[in-house]
Chain A
Amino acid sequence: DTEVTQTPKHLVMGMTNKKSLKCEQHMGHRAMYWYKQKAKKPPELMFVYSYEKLSINESVPSRFSPECPNSSLLNLHLHALQPEDSALYLCASSHLRTVGNTEAFFGQGTRLTVV
């Protein structure tokens, strides 16, 4: 099973709403990632979790709050977003380098629209 599952697939939220994106994998990967992709652009890294601890925050605004409750789950909590935050949010997972093959597997993404 090389599947990364993201929910929901689509989300429309107002600027005062609070919502969460969810990501799940069962490949035993101990590194999980959030990427943001704007239209016609490549994905850009937001956060990296390794062994359920936040390892990298690419200077992401605090209105995005990641959480890794266990080794299979990754959440992204959203609050007070701006219309320019509308994008495809991609979750990915991989083994850590100390394990060897760090091939990254991506989910299908959540298409977020902020109105």
Chain B
Amino acid sequence: KQEVTQIPAALSVPEGENLVLNCSFTDSAIYNLQWFRQDPGKGLTSLLLIQSSQREQTSGRLNASLDKSSGRSTLYIAASQPGDSATYLCAVNGGTSYGKLTFGQGTILTVHP
């Protein structure tokens, strides 16, 4: 059974810092990995999708990397802003054709001015 772990559980940083969120998974037979952002009481916003054959993806100030063999992914956020405050979830799409996602517990990020 796939298990996904995110570290740290919570992170508080001053505005402008660069930061890294970590995600690890136990079964390396994944199809892709997706990073989401969730604001309190809201739905999930897709940030980045990395296919299993890719090493990294970038979107604006966000960069996600994937090392499938070691079961790890990182989300790098450059020059953090208060508006980045949210819960960040990584989700692994495993070995079915139906896109079933297994989520980590999330990292709660607070960026203070």
Contacts and interface: CB of A to CB of B under 8 A. Distances in A.
A104 B101 contact: yes
Contacts of B43: 4, 6, 90, 106-109
A96 B34 CA distance: 15
Counting chain B residues whose Cβ lies within 8 A of the other chain, the interface size class is 20 to 34
B46 A97 contact: no
A91 to B, nearest CB: 9
B105 A42 contact: yes
B44 to A, nearest CB: 4
A79 interface: no
Interface in B6-37: 31-32, 34, 36
A102 B100 contact: no
B42 A103 contact: no
Given A103-B46, A104-B34, A104-B46, A33 B99 contact: yes
Contacts of A103: 32, 34, 46, 49
Nearest to A105: B46
Contacts of B32: 102-103
B99 A94 contact: yes
A48 B93 CA distance: 13
A74 interface: no
6 contacts: A45-B101, A48-B99, A94-B99, A96-B99, A102-B32, A106-B43
Interface of B: 31-32, 34, 36, 41-46, 49, 51, 89, 91, 93, 96-101, 103-106
Given A44-B103, A94-B99, 13 more contacts: A31-B98, A31-B99, A42-B104, A43-B103, A50-B97, A50-B98, A56-B100, A90-B43, A90-B44, A97-B98, A102-B93, A106-B36, A107-B43
